[in-house]
Amino acid sequence: MWVLLAIAVVVVGFALRINSMLVVTAAGIVAGLIGGLSPVKILNAFGDGFAGSRSVTVFIVTLPVIGLIERYGLQHQARKLISKLKVLTTGRLLALYMLIRQGTAAVGLTSIGGYAQAVRPLIHPMAAGAAERKYGKLPEKMQEKIKGFAASADTVGVFFGEDIFVAIGSILLITGFVDTTYGLKLEAIDIAVWAIPTGICALLIHGSRLWLLDRTLDKMAAQADAEAEDEDEEVAR
């Protein structure tokens, strides 16, 4: 049971924000020592594990071509296409952005969205702008709501889209780990295909919550108006 301390090393190390590579290595050494492996066996396990899971890092071969198309304006082109969504309401805009984010991530184009690249400069201003057109100046509560949902559209979209693409860390980690540890021969694409049902559920659940955000905002705006009126009355009294 003491070997569970190795998990505690990971939890504490990550919580203290120590470099993850160091934490992982330390946890491996702790597990090996408590588990009764000799130092040479621990080194052998590190070597065998690393050699057996090289497939996990193969995604890096896509970097030169992704970098090349970024050089020639990939993100600008994506931004141009996304800015056509401007005519929509806040909720519909975020729902469509999530669909685009998930669909592009599913074919490996994870670099066209992101918080710094798209949400902050493009998606949030468009979403907030649409709400301001409808409700006028937004109370802080509504601003916060729109910000939170704008970030979540990106996160949920990319999480449950990228797993459908084969060259992604999570898919390669699965095949790398189970093939080395249990001697299976799993194809990455078979794993990726089974990410599709969950991807559809994520789109339906979060997409409809984004779509219905307009109603929530309506309610919040009505409530804010009522509160403002109450205050006016009090002032008048």
Partner 1 sequence: MIKVEWFYWLCGIFFLLIAMQAFTDRTNRKRLGSAAFWGILGLSFCYGTFVVHKQAPSWLLGIAVIGIAALAGAGFPGRGQERTTTPEQRARFADRFGNKLFLPALVIPVVAAIFGAWLAKVKLGNGKPLLETGSATIIGLGVASILALAVGMVLFRPRSPAVPLHEGRRLLEHIGWAAILPQMLATLGLLFTASGVGKAVGRVTDHLIPKGSLIAAVALYCIGMAIFTIIMGNAFAAFPVMTAAVGWPLLVQQFHGTPAVVFAVGMLAGFCGTLCTPMAANFNLVPAALLEMKDQYGPIKAQIPTAIPLLACNIVIMYIFAF
Burial class (CB in 10 A: 0-12, 13-18, 19+), 147: middle
Minimal distance, residue 46 CB to partner 1, in Å: 4
Q: Which of 129, 133, 190, 225 binds partner 1 (CB under 8 A)?
A: 190
Minimal distance, residue 234 CB to partner 1, in Å: 26
Q: Judged by CB, which is closer to partner 1: 185, or 235?
A: 185
24 near partner 1 (CB under 8 A): yes
Give the whole-angstrom CA distance, residue 170 versus residue 166.
9
Q: Which of 93, 95, 100, 109 binds partner 1 (CB under 8 A)?
A: 109
CA angle at residue 26 from 24 to 30, to 5 degrees? 115
Q: Judged by CB, which is closer to partner 1: 54, or 232?
A: 54
Give the whole-angstrom CA distance, residue 118 versus residue 200.
23
Minimal distance, residue 141 CB to partner 1, in Å: 10
Stretch 36-55 residues interacting with partner 1 (CB under 8 A): 36-37, 40-55
Stretch 114-173 residues interacting with partner 1 (CB under 8 A): 115-116, 119-120, 124, 140, 144-145, 147-152, 154-156, 159-160, 163, 165-167, 169-173
Minimal distance, residue 99 CB to partner 1, in Å: 15
Nearest to residue 207, comparing CAs of 86, 101, 109? 101
Nearest to residue 150, comparing CAs of 101, 222, 77, 218? 101
14 near partner 1 (CB under 8 A): yes
Minimal distance, residue 14 CB to partner 1, in Å: 6
